[in-house]
Amino acid sequence: MINGIACEKRRFPTNPDGHRMFSIFFRLLLATIVFAVAARADAQLEDVSTIHWAYSTYFGTGWYQIGEDRDAFAIRFALRKPLRKASLNEDGSRTIGMELRFPITLGLDHFPLDDIEGSLDPDNLANISVTPSIYFDLPMNERWMLRPFVAAGWGTVLNGDESAWTYWTGLRSRFRFKTGNVESALINSIGFVGYTPSTGPSTNFWPITTVVEMAAPLGNLRLDGRQLVLHWHAGYTFFRDDLDIVRRDLTTEQISDQWELGLAVSKVDERIRVWRFSFDRVGLAYRFSSDGELKGLGLQFRSLFDQ
């Protein structure tokens, strides 16, 4: 059952050697994520944020690089409270789903490989943002879902006097289809994202996004007795009213678009557990602009439709 809509559960044959093989693969994936994040962030020296920190709560966990400048690493996690599940009823009516979210975003000054625990020390926190939001799920049919959303919150720099109100709203659409054992989805969205700082003018941009997501069984590999699934996606975002970037020399760089390519793995009918955390999937997404000025990596724990 997905969002109250019945769907076929995936079952695949077992392979006794798959667990051992995937254990190695999964550990390598986690090690790659930690090493990539730590290595890039450890290279920061007297950095000046290029994408304003108030936008980090929208972009989520990850970091960006503009030319030779580098951003601080950001971690976003969200408490979620489902209020009502979306469903299609037998009489042809529909129930609109509703979910409250409470995203908290932490900006870090550095993220060194040799002191990961120290990275979460209060002295290492550069900024914090809290942005309560509400999402509605409107099922159009068994394959097509619409999701309007709105969010507004506040953040502050911890080593200074700067603060800002942040806000965004928009509409997402997801259409599911299946070819053989490959499950696919076409995701489209349009939104409005902005912030109003304590000093200076407000600024905003309009992201318009198209994404294709696909998922297929990862051979016969299993983890904890569950079939593994490989997810991959490709997406393009056009920034209406260009995304303004402030460089080290205080000049402004305008970014008009962003491409995104991602890979992740999940388990059938069960979440992936890492230490005390559990995730729908675990993976990486590489982001870049057409002009090559914007580059970044993000951690992926959900479908882009559910982020």
Confidence at residue 35, expressed as pLDDT on a 0 to 100 scale: 42
Phi/psi at 304 (5° precision): -60, -25
pTM score = 0.77
DSSP 3-state assignment of 32? helix
Residue 158 has pLDDT above 90, yes or no: no
Confidence at residue 141, expressed as pLDDT on a 0 to 100 scale: 93
Mean pLDDT, the chain, whole residue set: 78
What are 229's two structure tokens? 């699934």
End-to-end C-alpha distance for the chain, whole angstroms: 19
> What does the DSSP 8-state code read for residue 275?
T
| Percent of all residues in the chain with a pLDDT value above 90, rounded to a whole number | 39
Domain ranges of the chain: 16-306
| Percent of all residues in the chain with a pLDDT value above 70, rounded to a whole number | 71
Minimal CA–CA distance to 302: which of 286, 290, 287, 285?
285
DSSP H helical ranges for the chain: 16-42, 56-59, 116-119
Residue 266 has pLDDT above 60, yes or no: yes
Top pLDDT among 24 and 235 is at: 235
Residue 204 has pLDDT above 60, yes or no: yes
> What does the DSSP 8-state code read for residue 245?
E
Average pLDDT over residues 187-202: 90
Q: Which pairs from 31-35 meet CB under 8 Å and 24+ separation?
A: 32/284, 33/282, 33/284, 33/299, 34/113, 34/116, 35/113
Domain covering 16-306: architecture = Beta Barrel (2.40)
Q: pLDDT tens across 70-111, in order? A: 555 788 888 999 999 999 988 888 999 999 999 998 887 666
Q: pLDDT tens across 16-69, in order? A: 444 444 444 444 444 444 444 443 444 333 344 445 676 777 777 877 666 555
Dihedral, CA atoms, 232, 73, 50, 64, nearest 10 degrees? -20
Asked if 104 and 78 count as a contact pair (C-beta separation under 8 A), the reply is yes
